[in-house]
């Protein structure tokens, strides 16, 4: 009799624990529905970390909330001032708000941390090409980016487009 009771108790304990874990998983999956919800939930529990502000800022960028992203990346920069990736994303937030000069400053700062990384130069080149239509500056920065990563198809592609625009301008003159 006691043996049967022990087996039933063990079975009941397993069922209860399984239900607890299923419920916890269900509620956690609600939090993980998208990047925004995940990082907002994480920030509400612990907002004093650069990493949380950084990823929440990236989620804000995906939602095209550039002002909020700027605030988050600025806060992340204050907590971790030597991380180039923060400056790249802060530059992207400025670019989304059409603050070209501030974007360029952030991209240049990112490039200063790691001169072998082409991302800062590439972003400046793209900004000059797509937004400011300054093809000479775009070419200069895209060449710097290509020097650092010669086989990058995006860099080579945009460099070709810039050179095409320069050649069109020169044939008109």
| pLDDT per residue of the chain (173 residues) written in tens, 0 to 9 | 666 766 677 777 777 777 777 776 666 666 566 665 666 666 666 766 888 889 889 989 999 999 999 999 999 999 999 999 999 999 999 999 999 999 999 999 999 988 888 999 999 999 999 999 999 999 999 999 999 999 999 999 999 999 999 999 888 87
Q: What is the pLDDT of residue 78?
A: 93
Q: What is the pLDDT of residue 129?
A: 96
Q: What is the pLDDT of residue 16?
A: 74
DSSP 142: H
CA distance 48 to 46: 6
Q: Are residues 53 and 17 located together in one domain of the fold?
A: no
Q: Are residues 94 and 21 located together in one domain of the fold?
A: no
Q: Are residues 10 and 95 located together in one domain of the fold?
A: no
Q: What is the pLDDT of residue 118?
A: 94
Q: Are residues 22 and 76 located together in one domain of the fold?
A: no
Q: Are residues 19 and 52 located together in one domain of the fold?
A: no
Q: What is the pLDDT of residue 52?
A: 83
Q: Are residues 14 and 52 located together in one domain of the fold?
A: no
Q: What is the pLDDT of residue 17?
A: 78
CA distance 155 to 149: 8
Number of domains in the chain: 2
CATH number of the domain enclosing 51:
1.25.40.10
Q: Which domain holds residue 3?
A: 1-31
Q: Are residues 146 and 123 located together in one domain of the fold?
A: yes
CA distance 125 to 119: 10
Q: Are residues 7 and 80 located together in one domain of the fold?
A: no
- CA distance from start to end of the chain: 102
Q: What is the pLDDT of residue 18?
A: 78
Q: What is the pLDDT of residue 10?
A: 79
Q: Are residues 158 and 132 located together in one domain of the fold?
A: yes
- Give the global pTM: 0.75
Q: What is the pLDDT of residue 164?
A: 95
Q: Are residues 83 and 13 located together in one domain of the fold?
A: no
Q: What is the pLDDT of residue 146?
A: 96
Q: What is the pLDDT of residue 69?
A: 95
Smallest CA-to-CA distance from 147 within 113, 120, 110 is with 120
Q: Are residues 17 and 53 located together in one domain of the fold?
A: no
């Amino acid at each position: 009799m006691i043996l049967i009771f022990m087996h039933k108790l063990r079975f009941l304990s397993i069922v209860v624990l399984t239900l607890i874990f299923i419920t916890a998983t269900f509620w956690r999956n609600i939090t993980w529905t998208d990047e925004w919800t995940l990082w907002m939930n994480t920030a509400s529990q612990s907002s004093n970390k650069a990493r949380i502000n950084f990823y929440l800022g990236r989620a804000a960028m995906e939602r095209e909330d550039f002002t909020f992203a700027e605030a988050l990346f600025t806060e992340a920069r204050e907590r971790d001032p030597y991380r180039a990736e923060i400056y790249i994303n802060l530059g992207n937030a400025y670019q989304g708000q059409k603050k070209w000069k501030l974007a360029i400053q952030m991209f240049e700062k990112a490039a200063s941390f790691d001169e072998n990384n082409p991302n800062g130069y590439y972003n400046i080149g793209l900004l000059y090409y797509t937004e400011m239509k300054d093809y000479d500056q775009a070419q200069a920065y895209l060449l710097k980016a290509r020097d650092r990563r010669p086989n990058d198809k995006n860099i080579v592609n945009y460099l070709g487009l810039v050179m095409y625009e320069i050649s069109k301008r020169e044939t008109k003159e």
